[in-house]
A = this chain, B = another copy of it.
Amino acid sequence: MTTGWSTGDELVEMLAALANPLRLRIVATLATSGRDYVSHLAREIGVSRPLLHMHLQRLEAVGLVVGSLELSPDGKALKFYEVTDVNLHLTASTLAEAAKTLTRSNPTPGPAPKEHP
């Protein structure tokens, strides 16, 4: 499966999710080392668990990673995360196409903002 987007808004969210050094590192670590659970990954990367938790939620919201709650052999509940099959190809025409479906930051219906009101 390939991670994509259907609207301009979704593309912006997807890009925003990747446009952060820590989140990029999280995705990269999961892509390289494979699936991992939150607390362990937090120690691995050297970040507090609440912070990692927040970033993972944001990454999962745009479909870059998926999480599943599992039980370890000794009964502990572990939340495992792994990356999805990321595949973004961005070109000028791709971006132009996506921009058509932007709902946020639309052109003002009325006249443009005046420079010296």
Q: Which residue of B lies closest to A109 (CB)?
A: B46
Least Cβ distance of A89 to chain B in Å? Answer: 5
Interface pairs (16), CB distance under 8 Å: A8-B21, A12-B20, A16-B19, A16-B20, A20-B105, A21-B105, A27-B96, A28-B96, A28-B98, A42-B112, A45-B107, A49-B115, A86-B90, A86-B91, A87-B91, A90-B90
Distance A20 CA – B19 CA, assembled complex (angstroms) = 11
Question: Size range of the interface on A?
Answer: 35 or more
Give the dominant DSSP class at A's interface.
Answer: helix
**Residues of chain B within 8 A of A15, CB atoms compared:** 15-16, 18-19
Q: Please state if A99 and B28 are interface contacts (CB–CB under 8 Å).
A: yes
**Residues of chain B within 8 A of A85, CB atoms compared:** 92
Distance A102 CA – B99 CA, assembled complex (angstroms) = 29
**Residues of chain B within 8 A of A21, CB atoms compared:** 8-9, 12, 102, 104-105
